[in-house]
């Protein structure tokens, strides 16, 4: 079964807006696990506008599901991941001031850099995943870096889904087949929602994991966190 990793960045954004510790990030993460989430994802950024370094450090010893840390592997991020040693690190090519991730890696241009980073993390027993688009050649090169998985950047799918679901999912199915042929595990994330997740999963049922934050937290405002997680999990059955 495809695992659901809940990205809790937006919870940290709410907390940081007022200072203090309400909502409590650690409590929310444990609630997500209790409500059925298979993992917790965080994406710390250099300006700590949502998840902070201390959050990452404090989450590690209390989580009982998979812990996924995603971000651009610059020196401070690499040092943090190596010290925490999560289940998985997802390498994302976002710039420091970016609002959200908006592209996958050009694994041709950054092949040597990614290969070195992947080797460092894997030496510590950390599963590595590379955030990637649907270009088959770039996926094949991701496999050659030694990465364990790729995470498909699904915003284009989400954007085009309403117009033509079959056309929207087609390049992702092809990309997923390339990844499988290369021996890569397969994750997906970005703008997946209750509206489009089940269709995506039906066409790529061998997905290992989806990482969902913004849409899930928005839905939780109306449905409650427990019911929202239940509905997202149902999309993956």
Looking at the annotation, which residues are catalytic? 43, 70, 190
- Specify burial of residue 51 (Cβ count, 10 A radius: 0-12, 13-18, 19+): buried
User: Phi and psi dihedrals of 50, rounded to 5?
Assistant: -135, -95
CB 125 within 8 A of CB 108: no
Give 17-23 contacts, CB < 8 A, sequence gap 24+. Answer: none
- Cα distance between residue 43 and residue 143, in whole Å: 23
Alpha helices per DSSP H over 19-135: 25-34, 53-59, 75-84, 111-123
Cα of first residue to Cα of last residue in the chain, in angstroms, is: 7
**C-alpha dist (Å) from residue 36 to 50, 70, 111, 151, 234:** 23, 21, 37, 22, 11
DSSP 133: -
CB 203 within 8 A of CB 216: no
């Amino acid at each position: 079964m495809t695992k659901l990793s809940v990205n809790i960045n937006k919870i940290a954004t709410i907390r940081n807006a007022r200072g203090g510790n309400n909502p409590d990030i650690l409590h929310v993460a444990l609630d997500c696990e209790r409500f059925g989430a298979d993992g917790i994802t965080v994406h710390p950024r250099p300006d700590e506008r949502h998840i902070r370094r201390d959050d990452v450090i404090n989450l590690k010893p209390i989580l009982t599901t998979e812990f996924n840390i995603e971000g651009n592997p610059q020196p401070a991020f690499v040092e943090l991941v190596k010290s925490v040693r999560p289940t998985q690190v997802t390498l994302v090519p976002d710039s420091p001031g970016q609002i959200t991730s908006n592209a996958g890696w050009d694994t041709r241009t950054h092949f040597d850099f990614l290969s070195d980073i992947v080797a460092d993390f894997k030496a510590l027993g950390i599963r590595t995943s590379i955030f990637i688009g649907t270009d088959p050649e770039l996926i094949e090169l991701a496999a050659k870096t030694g990465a364990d998985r790729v995470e498909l950047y699904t915003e284009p799918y989400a954007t085009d889904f309403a117009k033509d679901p079959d056309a929207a999912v087609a390049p992702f199915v092809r990309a997923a087949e390339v990844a499988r042929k290369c021996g890569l595990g397969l994750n997906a994330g970005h703008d997946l929602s209750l509206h489009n997740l089940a269709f995506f999963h039906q066409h790529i049922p061998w997905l290992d994991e989806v990482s969902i934050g913004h849409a899930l937290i928005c839905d939780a405002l109306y449905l409650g966190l427990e019911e929202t997680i239940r509905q997202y999990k149902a999309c993956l059955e």
